[in-house]
Every structure is written in C-alpha cells, then in structure tokens.
Structure 1
C-alpha cells in the first residue's frame, strides 16, 4: 500500500477498501476519495493520500476537489427537476426560455438537443479569454450569438465546457437564480459539501496534478491546433485561450481560485466524494429525507438520445447520453445498464443506479489519461459484491 487510507467500510464491503488502496500504487503524490451509498445509507467513505503535493497536506474527510465534467450530471439533475415541475420542457426550443439563443439559425434547437451535445456549439468560433469564462453574461451572450459548427440535431460533438452554460442559462432563465445558487438551494437538505462556484470562505480544496501520459496527449492535441489544423475537440476543452492545454497548471486553469469561484457548470463543480455520492443516491432513492427527481421523469431523462460516432472523427468506443446524463456504455462502464451520471477529466466517476439504489463517487487530484482503471476497478468490485449485471 502506497498511501495511508482512512475512513469506513460497512461489513461486507471490505474488498472495496483493498481496491481503493491499490489505486494509489505508483502515484506517491496522489490524493483521492471514494463514497458509496446503498438504500440511502453510507456503506463506504474512504479517503487518503496527498491533497497538495506542494506542502504535503494530507487528504482528509473534508477535502473537496474539482470534479470536472461530473458537474454536467449535477446540472442535468437540476434540469430534470425543472422538467418535473413543469418549468422546462425537453421538447421545447431553447429560445422559448432564452430568446437571444435563436440568433444565427438556432431558433429550432430544442432543450433536448442542447443537453445531449447536438446543438452545434461544442467550441467557440472565436477565442474565449479567461475573463470570458469568469463572466456569466459574457459567456452565455457569446454562445447565444454564435453560428453553429454543424446543423443542430444532425450529429453531435462533446460540448466539454459550453454544455454548462447552455444548461445553466436555461436554469437561470426559469428560476431567476444562478445555477450555483439554485444548486445549493436544491441540495441544502442533504447537507452536501458541493458547489458550482466555490464560496470565498471555503478552503481545503485539493491541488490538481496532471500525470505525464495525459499531459503528453493534450500537448499533442495542442500542437495540431498550433500547426493551423482546427482541432475542434481540443478547442472545446480550452475554448481558445481561456484554459491551458492540460486544463491545469500549478496555479492556473482549474487550480486558479478565480476559476474555482466562478460558476462554470460544464466542468467547475467542486465537491467531496461523500457529497457527490449522496446527491446521486437522492436521485434514485430517498436519502436523508430527500428524493431529487421522480422515477417517471428519470425514465425520460435517461433514454438514449446521443450515441455512435461524433461529427468530428474520434476513435471508438463511443459514449452515450440521455438528457445530459452520461449513460452506461463501452466507453464508460457504470454499475448496470440502468446507471446514469457523468465522469470527469482525469479519472473522476459519479453516478446513480436505480436498480440497486446506489450513489457512487470517486474523485482524485491525480489526473490520468487513457488506460486509467482506478474508477473502473472500483465499479467492478462493487458490481461483484452486489451481484449486479
């Protein structure tokens, strides 16, 4: 064992601890946390390693971390709640709620298409700067005005960051609250330590690091863009000049406190693992007196909308999405075929499973690339324990 792991596992879940401990092998400065709820009760809450390699600060029970695209799953829960309340309609045009969005031929783009990466706005045509992603009105106004990169609805490309502003502006238009404020109001009864827009007073946030293989992959993508070849999937991650190629530097990108405090709901959520697992648990079973979304709405929200090869060429396997929710696929195995949630850059995994009434979250500050099996191994171990398939 290469890290000191603390926390609890309920009787019968001891094999999960062993798999979690093995995740630290070969990564001496890694920190991570894992939480699992079953039937609304915590059965695993583990944490360990290093929260900040610069000063050796240990990862403790209250350490939060940027969860990257796991935030998209949280936003999709918010939208589903508003659909259940009759305040949003998946089949309605986005412009019904956000009239400015109809510009440049986008008047027919539906809420479903915007949520399922089919809106043609996966990346900006003109560079965003850091100031643009720190300014909600600036980011959403630019997307509303942009001409789509392909005919909306006729294919998909992953809206790595823009997804959050599309979903978030829908939330803002119908609630009158910023997505971060509505999120905090929604999860308040759970007592969950999770934010879209970190409070200025909240410390104990893990410092992110990028493993060499992931840094090399993203630098290769960056070199293509510099050479004059438009790499739209890479541009979707950086938005031009707003973020570094690897998403983080020692004090930049998502390690920048200004970025953490901004509401960037495509990738900027910050949470503890226990908070994320509790939120996903409350999506499928009563948890601490809370049920976030009805089974009827979830059935619609988790039906497959997007799958197969994207508009911009990519190697299989390909992911699947419903109404913003990432679904079980060969590209991202969750617990069962009914599971839904979202993973995040560098190894984060968070989801709910309605069949086994599970909320699951694995988060880490040690960002790895293709071939990373840490989250997958933990899900596989849980599947074996539960006899899931």
Structure 2
C-alpha cells in the first residue's frame, strides 16, 4: 500500500513524473522523517523481459550508493572500537597497505578518494575483481597514481575493495556478512552487499540503453586512467551489472542491492532512532561528513560541477546539493539518490532501474525541500 502523509503531495507528484510510461522501467521512493516513513511510492516495470512490476519491496541495484552503505558500516566499527579513528594511518590495521609511500595515508583519506588508488596499475583478472579482498591486496601492493593526500579522484570501483578490506580486518568476516549483522538485520532492511541466491528473482533488471556516454575530451593518458577506474583492466563494464555473479559477489563500491525502503531506513538510522535502532551517534556523523575532498579531481573530467566528499560519503556540492548543508549520503550511476539530513532528521532513497540521469532523483529532493519548508 502506497504512503503519502499530509503535506507531501508535491513529493509524490515529483516522483510520478520520473517514472517512464513505456513499459520498460520503473522506480521507487522512500522518505523517513523522525524515524518514521512519510512517503513510500513505487511505479513502473521492474523487468522489461517479463513485465514484472515494481512493488514496495522490489530490490534494485544501488550502484555507487553502495559506497555510502559500506562507509556507514565502517563508521559503526570505528565507533565500537573495532577500527581506529579516521585520522589514523591505514597501516595501523593493514600494514601491507604502506607499500610505495602509502604508509602515511589515513583511513579518512582512503575513504575520501585521496589514496591515489582510483585504478589498478596492472590488469586485474575477473576473479580478482569479483573478490573484494583480492582487489584490495592488489591495490595495497601498487604504487599510487599520485602523491597520497595531495589530490583526490573518485575511486569508482576500487573504493569498495578498500572498505571491504577494512571491515574484514576489523571483524574477521566478509563485508556481506558484517553488513547483514550490523546494519540490515537490526533495521529489517532489504539491503545487501552481496546478494543471496534466494533473492535473485526479485531484483529489478537494469535498463542500460538509455544511457548516453559523452565523448572523451581529455588527453589519451587521462582517458586511459578514467576508463581503467571502471574496467580495472579486465573489461568490467556497466553492461555486466545484470549478471547474477556480479550481484552475488558484493563489489562493495558498485553492486549493492536494496529496496528504497530498506535504503532510506538505513540513512534515517544514522541521524535518528529508526525501528528502535540508531546506527551511529552524532559525533561519528560529524566526523563522517566533514569535508575531506572537493574541487577539481586529479584527472581532468571536464568543467564543473564537481563532487565533494567526507569519509566515504558524498556531501553537498553543486554536483549534488541534497536537501541542505546538513545532508550526507551517496548517489549512484544513472539516477539513484540516497542520503540523510541531520537537521531535518530525514532518511531518503530514490531508486530506479533505468540508466539516464541524476536529475530525476534531484527533482524529488527539491520537492521534499519545499514540503519541509
């Protein structure tokens, strides 16, 4: 049953305008305020091949929203003392990471895309790419692409390997199991970093043909490193994200799976008790969302707007304004938007299975800002 509390009608209208009516794709929206849902909506098609419709609990690929999910887990482990604080050197828990001058890289810098490891120098095998820890070991052994701490560049895929390694070092368990125990299960959230086989048939099928890729304008070397940040030297690309083996593998930067309600309640629980659970406290939230990287990245990606980063979370910028300066979260390729807002005590998730743009989710966020006044 859909939910639209009084005062949120314009949010519902904005959401419905984002759902294509061509029978190929759909979307879902969940908004929580003060730990309770105020909007839960869905519409359209979850799988164009079968005609299966989006429902309240349809899980969808979260793409880079997965980074936010993983970073919240890292923050929880820090708060519990299982990981050292953000400004501690990574080598304090992961000695091998210090090779080739990376010994001074802090955990916070590694999470804020400042470690110089946005792409592997050697070609990884598909087996390594499907294993967070093997990818992490390859990154730890390599020379960074720039002097760590002096620049930043988005670690599109490799970020997940780093967070997964930190979680395993802290817990002795794969990130999929730790995430399930510490985050998803307490909140009764349909959210996974590593999809169980039993859930595969429920997942929305991603429609990719609407995505328009811009022609590269940078020099050949820059294009090489930008492309390598995605393909990792093994040919991994967006057109493989519907393959079950990638979803099962739980690549902790890109292949998380969640329902909109599951993802929204996770972000809600970072700023206010939700389902009786508060994942992290106020002090940890402030540490997580403190700006650590902003402005032009190391490799030329063209003119602004540019993203801004806390420790593994995206913070407000011209690229992604979110709800207010007190917001933090993560967007995802092709339109996903998920975040919390400290002042409004909001948890928000907009998920879609159609790769087009970010403007759809942002239009819903703008309507929410108006509704909240």
Following the alignment from structure 1 to structure 2, what is the Cα–Cα distance between the partners of residues 24 and 292?
32
* Structure 2 match to 1:3: none
* Structure 2 match to 1:351: 339
1:383 lines up with 2:369 in the alignment = yes
* Structure 2 match to 1:293: 280
1:237 lines up with 2:237 in the alignment = no
Is contact 2:218-2:300 (8 Å) kept?
no
Normalising by structure 2, what TM-score? Answer: 0.95
1:51 lines up with 2:49 in the alignment = no
Deviation, 1:348, is 0.2
Following the alignment from structure 2 to structure 1, what is the Cα–Cα distance between the partners of residues 354 and 175?
28
Is contact 1:197-1:264 (8 Å) kept?
yes
Following the alignment from structure 2 to structure 1, what is the Cα–Cα distance between the partners of residues 293 and 222?
27
* Structure 2 match to 1:122: 118
Deviation, 1:130, is 2.2
* Structure 1 match to 2:87: 91
Deviation, 1:75, is 1.2
1:60 lines up with 2:55 in the alignment = yes
Deviation, 1:167, is 1.3
Deviation, 1:294, is 0.4
CA RMSD across the alignment: 1.7
Residue correspondence of structure 1 range 198-237 to structure 2 within 5 A? 198-202=195-199, 203-212=201-210, 214-217=211-214, 220-221=215-216, 230-237=223-230
Following the alignment from structure 2 to structure 1, what is the Cα–Cα distance between the partners of residues 129 and 13?
40
Following the alignment from structure 1 to structure 2, what is the Cα–Cα distance between the partners of residues 41 and 331?
28
Deviation, 1:89, is 1.5
Normalising by structure 1, what TM-score? Answer: 0.91
Following the alignment from structure 2 to structure 1, what is the Cα–Cα distance between the partners of residues 26 and 51?
11
Q: Could you tell which deviates more after superposition, 132-141 or 263-272?
A: 132-141
Residues matched between the structures, number: 369
Is contact 2:222-2:299 (8 Å) kept?
no
Deviation, 1:229, is 6.4
Is contact 2:100-2:143 (8 Å) kept?
yes
1:71 lines up with 2:66 in the alignment = yes
Cα deviation, 1:217-259, whole Å, max 9, x if unaligned, reads 3xx45x989x776432222122122412xx12xxxx1101000
Following the alignment from structure 1 to structure 2, what is the Cα–Cα distance between the partners of residues 68 and 148?
25
Deviation, 1:27, is 5.1
Deviation, 1:195, is 0.2
Where 2:261 maps in the other structure, the secondary structure is: helix
* Structure 2 match to 1:160: 156
- Where in structure 1 are there 5+ consecutive unaligned residues? 1-5
